[in-house]
Amino acid sequence: MKALVTGMHGTVAPVLAQALRAGGGTVAPWDRTLHPVDSPAAVRDFIQSERPDWFCHLAMGSPDWAGWAAETCAENGIPFLYVSSVSVYAAAQTGPFTVRDVPVPDDDYGRYKFECERRVLAAHPRAHVVRIGWQIGARTGGNQMVDHLDRTHRAHGRIDASTRWFPGCSFLSDTAASLLQILRLPPGLYHLDGNPGLNFFEIAAGLNRLRGMPWTVVPVAGLVQNRRMLDPRVSVVPISRRFPDPRS
Ligand SMILES: NC(=O)c1ccc[n+]([C@@H]2O[C@H](COP(=O)([O-])OP(=O)(O)OC[C@H]3O[C@@H](n4cnc5c(N)ncnc54)[C@H](OP(=O)(O)O)[C@@H]3O)[C@@H](O)[C@H]2O)c1
């Protein structure tokens, strides 16, 4: 199985690529320096020349690129994965969200991701569109929670973590495993979230123990939000299973 994967300089795509290769697949990265993404003809030519068995779109590119790629894949019978975000839901919307809850995005990023979802599904009705939560990496660096927490700690000497905020989130390697599982499910919209109900303080404190970080994590009654997502079709390793017992 050959997958053409976008966003390979990012945080999530390399981990998905690793999982694809571990499963015996091959990965062709989309190198934007060689293959432009701002022309429908260039997008079409590159996909048709690669002839992948799967197209996995994880890059933060334009909705046009997403739409053109989806259209080309639909015409050529190539299955399409688009990785979206829990951020399509507005701050005022309260989870846990199911795929039946219609997003009403209230910021630029949410509107952008929702527009990409819309373009992909319009061009390729048999696409897989997967909303993921905040990603958790193995170390600092990249666009993920451990890096955010470490930067917060360095800037303020402490991390104020709300006990009333329930983010959608999952460990990167678990996200990749669940994405592979979703590729085997029927096309459609999916939610991928590994938070079984932990609040942000519990998560930050758990990561502090797990990663052996020197953070001071302080419980606060701050942000009140439930951003969890539910989808009974998708199994994701619960983040709590990764955390060492606080008593040990
Ligand atoms: N990380 C998270 O916590 C998180 C949470 C929810 C959803 N997501 C979604 O997961 C996907 C991957 O996220 P990520 O964290 O890996 O993102 P990232 O680390 O910010 O990387 C995104 C990649 O997209 C490509 N890219 C960036 N700007 C671009 C532009 N203007 N035009 C075309 N391509 C551009 C680059 O890859 P190349 O240079 O290789 O093309 C970049 O490395 C995204 O769609 C994101 O919305 C991520």
Roughly how many angstroms between the first and final C-alpha of the chain, as a whole number? Answer: 43
From the CA of 60, how far away is ligand 1's center (Å)? 4
Predicted TM-score of the model (pTM):
0.97
The residue nearest atom 43 of ligand 1, judged by CA position, is 10
Q: For the segment 39-98, what is each residue's pLDDT rounded down to a tens digit?
A: 999 999 999 999 999 999 999 999 999 999 999 999 999 999 999 999 999 999 999 999
Judge whether residue 212 has pLDDT over 90. yes
Handedness of CA 56, 59, 63, 68 (dihedral sign): negative
Q: Which atom of ligand 1 is nearest to the CA of 60?
A: 24
Question: 136-187 pLDDT, tens per residue?
Answer: 999 999 999 999 999 999 999 999 999 999 999 999 999 999 999 999 999 9
Q: Is the pLDDT of residue 245 over 80?
A: no
Q: At residue 238, does pLDDT exceed 70?
A: yes
pLDDT one-digit tens code per residue, 181-204? 999 999 999 999 999 999 999 999
In order of their start, the domains of the chain are 2-134+169-192 (3.40.50.720), 136-168+195-226 (3.90.25)
CA-CA-CA-CA torsion for 246, 227, 185, 1, nearest 10 degrees? -70
